[in-house]
Amino acid sequence: MPRKSPPRHRRTKSSYKPGKARRHSHSPFKKLADFFGEVLAGKNIFKFLVLATIWGTVLVGIIVAYFAYEIPDILRKTDLKQHPSIVLEARDGTVFDRYGEYHGDTLTIKDMPAHLVQAFLAIEDRRFYEHGGIDVFGILRAGVSNVLAGHLVQGGSTITQQLAKNLFLSSQRTTRRKIQEILISLWLENKLSKDEILAAYLNRIYLGSGAYGVDAAAHLYFNKSARDVTLREAAILASLPKAPSRYSPLNNPEAAEARSRVVIQAMIDAKFLLPTQKSDTVTQAPLPGKKPGGGGDGKYFVDWTMDQLGDLIDEQDEDVIIRTTLDLPMQREAERQIDNMITDKGKASNVTQAALVSIGQNGAVRALVGGRDYAESSFNRATQAKRQPGSSFKPIVYLAALERGIDKDEKLLDAPIKIGGWSPENYTENFRGEVSMKDALAYSINTATVRLAERTGAGRIQKLATKLGITTPLHRELSLALGTNEVTVLDMTSVFAVFAHHGRAVIPYAIEKITTRSGKILYERGATAMPQLVDSDNVAALDEMLQACVSYGTGKKAALNQTASGKTGTTQDYRDAWFIGYTGRMTTGIWLGNDDNKEMNKVTGGSLPAQLWHDYMQAAYTHEEQDTEPAYTREQSGGFKRFLDGLFDDDRVKVEPDYPDGRR
């Protein structure tokens, strides 16, 4: 019987699926969970550290790459050129103001005294020569100090990082900027030597009052080069980066002194100094408290000067030094006198503002005050404000009459007058009958002046006023004779300067010379003796009348212990009060009033303005001028020639026929 083969086993269906079970038990999440479980159990720690290092490096690389993406553009686009500053000097060479950034000489580390370099290293980055741009130990030390203090007391930035920020980055405190700062610091350390980095930092660090770099700051604060600063001065300079304004020896000498002692102690701790050297600095005289330039504000004068600069020179790539006409003692005296007068009498007299201009023989402006307080208002009332001059305009009328041929000894009638619908009245409301021209001007008689103006012609008066230096539009009406047109204090003072100059032209100016810091002359005014504008005999006759005004007329309060000539001016309702006068060497114009044009408390030109003029001129003459009259050479005056050509062009003012009633 044949053998039967063994029965085959049939495969039956089952819910067990080996493939699915295998994939589930070995998924990445399960493996990762198992791996961390083993790490927590103390197994595979080495493997974990290796993986963490690899992935941490990759992550850091991605972050660095992201923030470094902008760096090539930052390095390429940054303007490394120092922006020039403008330094203003008074006539004696004293620096009294600056515009823009002020930079000194670019010095190497070898050019600087060792104690200057050490002072900055001790207080800013003691391990500068040891780290590679980033001071890890410094960061840790600062972190510990800040935690212990409970607030920020130390920073961890190195000098290289500060240079990177100053050269290439903004002052924004963001993570992006901080990482970029670190990367650029490493780049600087790779490209430059340590001495080059430190020198770049010391030549560019901001040290207050517009000064960038140690040399500029040394000149500003100590009037010397950084090459020559003492240990104590070096400590003061090194104290400034923390808070340039707070520790400025100009603004706060006590704080500067205290902070400098902190720097000295830091130098001792860093073993740059011996403890005995600290006492040497403490025993020195205290720092004097002063303002930049040694005093006087002169801000209104500075603004007026800067307005003229663009007409004289083109934009420069290096620092510009302007030698101005300003006399600092006179400027300070003018500011002091105005402030004292308004403080003492302003409230009772309802006077809140004043303006003053002093002009030398040749047109040099020695003092200019455009208001009581520049900090409250920078509006220049000496050069920008247009106010009615009142009777201070009358000398132009009398000179125009003399120029027309009217004899100085002629009598004028002081009596009621009516021209058209206009009836001018005298301030005193009295009439004297016939008076001399001298008395008519000395006593500022309106009716007599209007009659003289009618004979002379409003058009002739208008033309002469413009020729003498009035730049504002003048209406051709007889009321012009009483100062009803608006003018500036500067213009009116320049007109009287022509009288003081025997009829020669006087153009007020502020700039004598402009040079670059390297000594290149950009502009020099040269000799400027001026051409004759009006007949000197007629000016001499007018001068007699103006002397009478001061000696016995409306300007008696302005009388000095020497010959003085001048004229008062008061407008309707006491809104403006003037006194303008001159001596042999100087012409000064003063205006008092209010910005809102409110009337003063019966202030006339012969009261407060005349008294202020007297007090100022008396004090100013302790600084008596020595101006001379050099030969006039237009070729030496550059762009000034074109100005003169336009000013003395007789066709500039067209004269129309005059009518008796002043109609056009």
Which runs of consecutive H residues, i.e. helices, occur in 432-512?
A: 437-442, 446-456, 458-468, 489-500
Q: Which of 209, 260, 358, 391 is catalytic?
A: 391
Please give the DSSP secondary-structure letter assigned to residue 179.
Answer: H
Give the whole-angstrom CA distance, residue 262 versus residue 264: 5
Q: Which amino acid is at 413?
A: L
DSSP letter string, 109-164? GGGS-HHHHHHHHHHH-TTTTTSSS--HHHHHHHHHHHHHHTS-------HHHHHH
- 408 Rama class: left (phi>0) / alpha (psi -120 to 50) / beta: alpha
Whether 226 and 104 have beta carbons less than 8 Å apart is answered as yes
DSSP letter string, 322-379? EEE---HHHHHHHHHHHHHHHHHHHHHHT--EEEEEEEETTSBEEEEE-SS-TTT---
What is the torsion angle, in degrees rounded to the nearest 10, for the CA atoms of residue 547, residue 548, residue 554 and residue 558? 40
The Cα-based distances of 611 to 331, 554, 567, 591 in angstroms read 18, 12, 13, 12
Q: Which helix (H) or strand (E) holds 99?
A: strand 95-99
The Cα-based distances of 256 to 213, 237, 279, 478 in angstroms read 17, 9, 17, 63
Q: Which of 124, 257, 403, 512 is catalytic?
A: 124
Whether 477 and 503 have beta carbons less than 8 Å apart is answered as no
Q: Which two tokens stand for residue 287?
A: 């720092």
10 Å CB burial of residue 31 (0-12, 13-18, 19+) is exposed
Task: Confirm whether 391 is a catalytic residue.
Answer: yes
Task: Confirm whether 512 is a catalytic residue.
Answer: no
Whether 617 and 583 have beta carbons less than 8 Å apart is answered as yes
Give the whole-angstrom CA distance, residue 379 versus residue 103: 30
Give the whole-angstrom CA distance, residue 564 versus residue 551: 8
Q: What is the CA radius of gyration of the chain?
A: 39
Catalytic machinery residues: 124, 391
